Structure 1
Amino acid sequence: MRIYPFRALRYNTAKVKLSDVVTQPYDKISPAMQDAYYAQSPYNLIRVILGKRNPADTDADNVYTRAAKSLQDWRREAVLVEEREPALYGYAQKYTVPGTSEVRERRGLICLGHLYDYAEQVVYRHEQTLAKPKSDRLSLFKTTRTYCEQIYMLYSDPSFTVEKLVFGNTTGEAATPADETVTDEYGVVHSVWRVTDPHILNLIVGALSDKKLIIADGHHRYETSTAYARERAAELGLPDTTRQSGKSEKQVGDSDESPSNDADMTVGPPLPVPAFPEAAMMMTLVNTDAPGITILPTHRIVYGLKDFSSAAFLDKAAEFFEVSKVEAKSAAAGSDAEGVEAASERVAPLAATKGVAFLAVMKDGTFLLQGKPAAIEAALQHVAPRQRPMDVVQLHALVLEQLLELTPESIRQQENLRYLRSAEDAAAQVARGEADIAFLIKPVTLDQMKEVSLGGEVMPQKSTDFYPKLLSGLAFYALD
């Protein structure tokens, strides 16, 4: 994997308070959170990554053009300022695992990462994507020409080379104080270290050069950016850099460089930069061999089914699952944070089960479905062997597609399906009559995800929910 230091745009903390302007990732922001972010500061990143749409929007004035204008205004007002020299950024997140008292720290590296076609087997996906987010993110990116959020990538390094170079150690307190620290609305403490020494930067670049990456969060943005890199290469008359055969980088000082890459390097070893600005995107790389990675389940809510009958569904399910009614915790849905904390209680019956199991929440009760291995194996011969034992795969391939007769295309288009982190919110939608059935599931394990991804396969959409999310607004990659 080729990575690049870059001259990031950063919020100017002499003019704004960092906690007032950073946000959760765009796809984790509820309407209530959007309103709260708008109220926090006129410079809050929400105006760029998830602005409010107006009924009177036109081609000349819409959510995307307003996002671009906000960025332009903030740069002009020095609310966003550009770093003087290329850098990589150490990034640590200290958090309490939802539903427990366990405190973990996840460490990563914010950088520019080269965009590869999946066929090159350098970057791997682990789940399928949805159609709508791609179109939205492409429109926003083409208009703003700025990466305001990092995508989350995984790599393996048992020797912890990057951690030692960036943080001075592998665990515990970092050797030097963080340059910036901010606590988000979930109590997660985010800290950033700026690394500018050219020698250290080149050591980090070299240490990661032979690594393969798995996308943890950001499939839609990665695929959108890779397609745009190919498009821009064709427009510029350059080779396709998403393929190994294309020229992929040049050295600082070459012409035609993005302001976010270029630098006046008079001493020290030269630093690599992308062949053109669109050939790379902003990423945070996390070592899977280090502690601190947490994966939560993403629950499924099915709605709008014609003539849905819970009794008929359970009769069908009994062919493949042992079905038993359970006493479910009854509580009104609260905030997203409260939903995360309550999830372990709502799904407690799953923790006592071995093998595949789901909770099916319907108007007339909550039912535990435990898989019958022989029946499921016979029904899923069309599914790759390594994926057949996985809960989320059986839910999609057997329950959603066969028992409820949702087509793969309708699932991809989210015509009858919603995804939620909070088990409480999922159950509440059923109680309010907004859904026919909610499926509460176990999380995918890191080993399962790695096996499927590196095997060249993909799981269903939204199979994983990595916690905590990367905070948006800690760094920006401006292409112009």
Structure 2
Amino acid sequence: MNTTGYAAGQGLRLIPFRGLRYVPERVGSLAAVTSPPYDVVVRPDGLHHLESADPHNIVRLILPQAGTAAERHQRAADTLERWLAEGVLAPDPAPVLYVYEQRADDILQRGVIGALALSPASEGIVLPHEDVMADVVEDRADLMRTAAAHFEPLLLSYAGDGGPGGTTAVIERVVERVPLLTTTTEDGFGHRLWAVTDPVEQAEIASGLSHRQALIADGHHRWATYLRLQQEQTVPGPWDFGLVLLVDTARHPLRVRAIHRLLHGLPVAQALRALDGRFRVRPIGGPLPRALDALADAAADGNAFLLAGDGRFHLVDRPDEQLLARTVRTDRPDAWRTLDATVLHSTLLDDVWRIPDDPEHIAYIHDTAAAVEQAERHDATAVLMHPVREEVVRDLARQGITMPRKSTSFGPKPATGLVLRSLGVD
């Protein structure tokens, strides 16, 4: 591996690596060993479902179960070592880049998986747009450090020119060939993966990315973890690179969805009482899709949220202007100050409901129906959000302004388990 980092002024630098992949003959099916990204798995139901899908499901590496954090991380490392020894996972014979395709109904997304160079100089090249939680970064860092592996790629988007040349040309040629693997996961998405072995094509991809910057679409905590672990090293090596999927959104626009909040210990009735005189609150008839349509209509005119958990839906909008002026910081652009996530955290969580932003009090859930179901089951409050537009996200990121954590969910996200990166076999 070439372990030199970024040179000043360079763009993205993606290099080949020897991916670890499941050996199909050793598992029930590729679909049965894959998983959504670790933070999308809805615990405990989703975790148990994946663990029972196949004894080698990747969730045993990304969300190992044990009594303490140290034991969990060591279990993942031991499991990875055992699966390699048993031939469940095996490294590809030579370093390659991978073309990855996801397809479902009218959705087609293609990108390139590789090892991306990390460096303090990458600031301004790789753009984060959300804050991160220190405890999550610490947990992911301990897991990666103990296992010496990257189990799932970040999703990065870049704005290409949409033309037929460069990286796009290589991808379009490669997808006409026989793929390394093909599978369809239970969410209906078809997945295909190809190896780019030709040094000329690898160079074409590198050249096409060399003057690009990328937005972190999914994986802020893993990106922060990559940087932390890289900074711990004293000599160049595999920690100077991180596993990523790069998608040209000029060619394959991403979908932007909201991430919802589940407020433990806050019944809906109590949440609504605290809003009296501060926000407008209206009951909204179901079912859920109809209530979400009402949320979208209200969000077009200003901050709006949908509360659920008592068997009904409550539309919350039109916050008191004096309340916003008092609770939202003024040293940020208007685009940031008016974000629903900003108002939720600064005004509702911090001031009105006074709920600490930690896992004991708040869960972040991507699936809307799951958020509602869990709130109703546990007498809690689900705060359903409307997604922010991608151009707002990118504009703030270019200004160096981060949004409140878990403000957006870009997708489709890569399936975890199709290709891993060991830091010992590159």
Contact in 2 for aligned 1:377/1:388 (Cα 8 Å) = no
Using the alignment, how far apart are the partners of 1:80 and 1:345 within structure 2?
45
Match of 1:281 in 2: 242
* Aligned match for 2:111, one of 108, 113, 116: 108
Scaled by the length of structure 1, the TM-score of the pair is 0.78
Match of 1:95 in 2: 104
Shift of 1:228: 1.0
Match of 2:346 in 1: 397
Shift of 1:144: 0.9
User: Quick one: structure 1 residues 72 and 120, their matched pair in 2 at CA, closer, same or farther if it must change by over 3 Å?
Assistant: same
Match of 1:34 in 2: 47
Residue 286 of structure 2 is aligned to residue 328 of structure 1: yes
Match of 2:9 in 1: none
Match of 2:95 in 1: 86
Deviations for 1:175-198, whole angstroms, at most 9, x for unmatched residues? 334331111121111111111100
Using the alignment, how far apart are the partners of 1:181 and 1:146 within structure 2?
24
Contact in 2 for aligned 1:310/1:362 (Cα 8 Å) = no
User: Which sections of structure 1, spanning at least 5 residues, go unmatched?
Assistant: 97-102, 239-274, 330-342
Shift of 1:465: 1.4
Match of 1:52 in 2: 65
User: Quick one: structure 1 residues 298 and 440, their matched pair in 2 at CA, closer, same or farther if it must change by over 3 Å?
Assistant: same
User: Quick one: structure 1 residues 196 and 179, their matched pair in 2 at CA, closer, same or farther if it must change by over 3 Å?
Assistant: same
Using the alignment, how far apart are the partners of 2:265 and 2:69 within structure 1?
32
Using the alignment, how far apart are the partners of 2:200 and 2:90 within structure 1?
25
Scaled by the length of structure 2, the TM-score of the pair is 0.87
User: Quick one: structure 1 residues 373 and 387, their matched pair in 2 at CA, closer, same or farther if it must change by over 3 Å?
Assistant: farther
Deviations for 1:398-438, whole angstroms, at most 9, x for unmatched residues? 222232234xxx31x33422222233333334433431x32
Which amino acid is the alignment partner of residue 366 of structure 2?
R
SS at match of 2:233: helix
Shift of 1:311: 5.1
What RMSD, in angstroms, separates the aligned Cα atoms of the two structures? 2.6
SS at match of 2:334: coil
Shift of 1:355: 2.0
SS at match of 1:210: coil
Which amino acid is the alignment partner of residue 347 of structure 2?
L
Q: How does 1:207-356 map to 2 (within 5 A)?
A: 207-233=208-234, 238=235, 275-305=236-266, 309-310=270-271, 312-318=273-279, 322-329=280-287, 344-353=289-298, 354-356=300-302
Contact in 1 for aligned 2:69/2:139 (Cα 8 Å) = no
User: Quick one: structure 1 residues 21 and 107, their matched pair in 2 at CA, closer, same or farther if it must change by over 3 Å?
Assistant: same
Match of 1:360 in 2: 307
Which amino acid is the alignment partner of residue 36 of structure 2?
Q
Shift of 1:390: 2.2
Shift of 1:123: 1.4
SS at match of 1:121: coil
SS at match of 2:143: helix
Using the alignment, how far apart are the partners of 1:129 and 1:58 within structure 2?
19
Using the alignment, how far apart are the partners of 2:33 and 2:181 within structure 1?
14
* Aligned match for 1:454, one of 372, 391, 398: 398
Contact in 1 for aligned 2:152/2:420 (Cα 8 Å) = yes
Which amino acid is the alignment partner of residue 211 of structure 2?
D
SS at match of 1:387: helix
Deviations for 1:155-211, whole angstroms, at most 9, x for unmatched residues? 111245312212239xxxx43343311111211111111111001101111211111
Which amino acid is the alignment partner of residue 66 of structure 1?
R
User: Which sections of structure 2, spanning at least 5 residues, go unmatched?
Assistant: 1-11
Contact in 2 for aligned 1:167/1:176 (Cα 8 Å) = no
SS at match of 1:26: coil
Query: After the TM superposition, which segments of 4 or more aligned residues of structure 1 sit over 6 Å from their partners?
Result: none
SS at match of 1:309: helix
SS at match of 1:317: coil
Contact in 1 for aligned 2:141/2:228 (Cα 8 Å) = no
Shift of 1:220: 1.0
Q: Percent identity?
A: 28
Deviations for 1:93-150, whole angstroms, at most 9, x for unmatched residues? 1124xxxxxx211111100011233873221111111233222211211111011211
Using the alignment, how far apart are the partners of 2:255 and 2:202 within structure 1?
28
User: Quick one: structure 1 residues 21 and 209, their matched pair in 2 at CA, closer, same or farther if it must change by over 3 Å?
Assistant: same
Match of 1:427 in 2: 372
Shift of 1:443: 0.6
Deviations for 1:2-46, whole angstroms, at most 9, x for unmatched residues? 111112122222333322322221222232332233333332222
Match of 2:206 in 1: 205
User: Quick one: structure 1 residues 290 and 179, their matched pair in 2 at CA, closer, same or farther if it must change by over 3 Å?
Assistant: same
Using the alignment, how far apart are the partners of 1:25 and 1:420 within structure 2?
12
Q: How does 1:84-233 map to 2 (within 5 A)?
A: 84-96=93-105, 103-117=106-120, 120-160=123-163, 161-168=166-173, 174-233=175-234
Deviations for 1:380-406, whole angstroms, at most 9, x for unmatched residues? 452432212322222222222232234
Which amino acid is the alignment partner of residue 70 of structure 1?
T
Which amino acid is the alignment partner of residue 402 of structure 1?
D
